């Protein structure tokens, strides 16, 4: 069995009550193991604590109970093994596309020439060669999200965390970007935890799908997607074998909605 | 977009110039036709004549230079101080919380009212007017910087944190550049306020500067002189404002292009 890259051991995260809001338990007793090169999707109703999971993985937040491990090391703060990508591209408007891709490398003190080389390579992979000197506002939403993907991959993380990275894009751009991302992940052999609302996207892109319940979020089901073409979501989508998985997930989410 | 701008630009420039010509012509002849006395509204030609006369006899160039210098020093000091304190408060919520009632009080206090006090403290020199300008420039700059840093997307900061950025790196690589548009919006307001601060300082006391000439002209009941000084002051304000606009265009070169005067 392949090495475990990202692991949650019985993790609970409670937020203490503040003057403005009462305390909530965002996730409770979550155990997850994402193995090397695996793409695992996380679906669940909104407010089920998916983003909390992402923050815990990135070391931006710590668990109330339990432990999070990345590459076998306990996560105690932000670390260089993990990179994340959100629905918002978070490109810095005052930096060119290349400088944005270099952002993480710059903070890691990678020398300028090497930074440039890595950034240009990533931009090529993401089909953005020729746009390296453009500013973010000059690019379309889809291209900006490609640049965000290049920035995420530039630091060569062992675990990539994605929080609905394609949900703001139009349907066609979304399909193309899903395909590009799937190919990039499999070519670079990256491990990925992928948060999404889109059931078809989860089935098309992942090796496994984890279903979370309403708050407090728990993992209520794990479904292995036993289909070929993980690096070609468009091919996978067109296979009729996808349907039973979608039916099953739809059922489960209804359960998750009803079960409070 | 640029094509429509030039296509629209030509007639707009012509109309703009036409309005200017009509205004000056109306100024020149309309009051006379309506029977308004020359000492109430002197015609444009009389004001122009007076400006030329002031250059020759009243050392207008010297007074303009003194006022301009005071505006520049007051503006730079106030802007630097405002930006520094704005950033300091933005990165330290505790400091902001502790200081906010006093900052609010000082912000509400009419800054020009301090002018007599500064004259009493420092005498009839450049100091009082520079201080009034500094004080009046300080607040819009500080408030804009503080607000801008506060409004930065948390996720943007988290992205930096996830890359292991230090607090200092977050400040210089995200917070400072992200607050630049707001800083320049503050500086635009500050550029015009700086002129007001200096004028009030000069009106209150002193024997140099355009504010002094303004008071002198008033004492002589010399309306053309007052009009002339107002024109010179407007020119100083305009130069200060344009300097900010030029600097802004250089610093914020990455922003989508706006049509002139869009803000």
CATH assignment of the domain containing A71: 3.40.50.300
Closest residue in chain A to residue B162, using alpha carbons only: A78
Nearest CA distance, B255 vs chain A (angstrom): 8
Interface contact A124, partner B, CB < 8 A? no
Query: B254–A94: do the CB atoms touch at under 8 Å?
Result: yes
> Domain-by-domain residue ranges, chain B?
1-37, 44-251
| ipTM of the complex as predicted | 0.85
Of the listed ranges A148-162, A210-224, B63-77, B233-247, the least confidently predicted one is A210-224
How far apart CA A135 and CA A175 sit, in angstroms, is 24
Task: Kindly state the average pLDDT of the residues A136-146.
Answer: 92
Interface contact B152, partner A, CB < 8 A? no
Interface contact A103, partner B, CB < 8 A? yes
As a whole number, the mean pLDDT across chain A is 88
Task: Kindly state the average pLDDT of the residues A35-52.
Answer: 86
Residue A64 placed within a domain: yes
Interface contact B184, partner A, CB < 8 A? no
Residue A35 placed within a domain: yes
pLDDT tens digits, residue range B88-99? 999 888 888 898
In CATH, which of 1.20.1050.10, 1.10.3720.10, 3.40.640.10, 3.20.20.210 is domain B44-251?
Answer: 1.10.3720.10
Nearest CA distance, A54 vs chain B (angstrom): 11
Q: Pairing mode, if any, of strands A73-74 and A82-85? A: unpaired
Query: B169–A107: do the CB atoms touch at under 8 Å?
Result: yes
The minimal CB distance from B161 to the residues A60, A93, A94 is found for A60
pLDDT, residue B73, reads 96
Is B86's pLDDT higher than 60?
A: yes
pLDDT, residue B8, reads 57
Is A258's pLDDT higher than 70?
A: no
pLDDT, residue A91, reads 95
Both tokens of residue A227? 């289909």
Mutate to test the interface with A, among B148, B158, B159 (most CBs of A within 10 A): B159
Per the structure, the complete domain to which residue A236 belongs is given by 1-78+193-260
Helix (H) or strand (E) holding A16: none
pLDDT tens digits, residue range B9-54? 678 899 999 999 999 999 999 988 898 888 889 999 999 999 999 9
For chain A, what is the domain count? 1
Task: Give residues 49 to 78 of A whose Cβ lies within 8 Å of B.
Answer: 55, 58-60, 78
Nearest CA distance, A248 vs chain B (angstrom): 34
Of the listed ranges A180-189, A237-246, B194-203, B230-239, the least confidently predicted one is A237-246
Query: A93–B156: do the CB atoms touch at under 8 Å?
Result: no
Residue A149 placed within a domain: no
Task: Kindly state the average pLDDT of the residues B64-69.
Answer: 94
Residue A222 placed within a domain: yes
Interface contact A108, partner B, CB < 8 A? yes
Cα angle, residue A217 at apex, residues A41 and B154 outer, rounded to 5°:
75
């Amino acid at each position: 069995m392949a090495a475990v890259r990202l692991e949650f051991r019985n993790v609970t995260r409670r937020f203490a009550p503040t003057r403005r809001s009462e305390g909530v338990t965002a996730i409770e007793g979550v155990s997850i193991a994402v193995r090397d090169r695996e793409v695992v999707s996380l679906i669940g109703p909104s407010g089920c604590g998916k983003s909390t999971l992402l923050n815990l993985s990135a070391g931006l937040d710590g668990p109330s109970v339990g432990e999070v491990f990345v590459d076998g090391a306990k996560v105690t703060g932000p670390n260089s093994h993990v990179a994340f990508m959100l629905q918002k591209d978070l490109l810095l408007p005052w930096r060119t596309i290349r400088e944005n891709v270099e952002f993480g490398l710059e903070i890691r003190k990678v020398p300028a020439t090497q930074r440039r080389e890595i950034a240009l390579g990533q931009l090529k992979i993401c089909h953005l060669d020729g746009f390296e000197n453009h500013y973010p506002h000059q690019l379309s939403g889809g291209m900006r999200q490609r640049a965000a993907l290049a920035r995420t991959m530039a630091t060569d993380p062992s675990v990539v965390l994605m929080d609905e990275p394609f949900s703001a894009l139009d349907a066609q751009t979304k399909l193309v970007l899903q395909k590009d991302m799937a190919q990039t992940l499999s070519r670079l052999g990256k491990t990925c935890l992928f948060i999404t609302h889109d059931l078809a996207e989860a089935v098309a892109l992942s090796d496994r799908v984890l279903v979370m319940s309403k708050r407090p979020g728990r993992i209520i089901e794990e479904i292995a997607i036993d289909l070929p073409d993980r690096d070609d979501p468009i091919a996978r989508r067109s296979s009729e074998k996808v349907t039973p998985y979608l039916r099953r997930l739809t059922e489960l989410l209804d359960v998750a909605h009803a079960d409070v | 977009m640029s094509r429509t701008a030039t296509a629209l630009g030509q007639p707009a420039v012509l109309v703009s110039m036409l309005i200017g010509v009509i205004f000056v012509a109306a100024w020149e002849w309309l009051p006379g036709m309506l029977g308004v006395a020359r000492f109430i509204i002197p015609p444009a030609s009389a004001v122009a004549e007076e400006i030329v006369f002031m250059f020759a006899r009243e050392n207008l160039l010297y007074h303009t230079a003194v006022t301009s210098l005071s505006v520049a020093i007051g503006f730079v000091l106030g802007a630097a101080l405002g930006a520094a304190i704005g950033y300091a408060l933005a990165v330290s919520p505790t400091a902001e919380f502790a200081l906010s009632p006093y900052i609010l009080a000082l912000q509400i206090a009419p800054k020009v009212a301090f002018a007599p006090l500064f004259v009493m403290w420092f005498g009839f020199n450049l100091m009082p007017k520079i201080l009034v300008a500094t004080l009046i420039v300080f607040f819009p700059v500080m408030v804009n910087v503080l607000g801008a840093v506060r409004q930065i997307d948390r996720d943007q900061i988290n992205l930096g944190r996830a890359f292991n950025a230090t607090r200092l790196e977050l400040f210089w690589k995200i917070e400072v550049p992200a607050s630049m548009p707001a800083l320049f919006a503050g500086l635009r307001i500050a550029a015009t306020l700086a002129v007001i601060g200096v004028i009030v300082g000069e009106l209150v006391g002193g024997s140099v500067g355009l504010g002094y000439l303004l008071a002198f002209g008033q004492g002589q009941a010399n309306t053309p002189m007052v009009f002339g000084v107002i024109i010179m002051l407007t020119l100083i304000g305009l130069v200060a404002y344009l300097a900010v606009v030029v600097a802004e265009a250089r610093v914020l070169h990455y922003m989508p292009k706006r049509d002139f005067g869009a803000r």
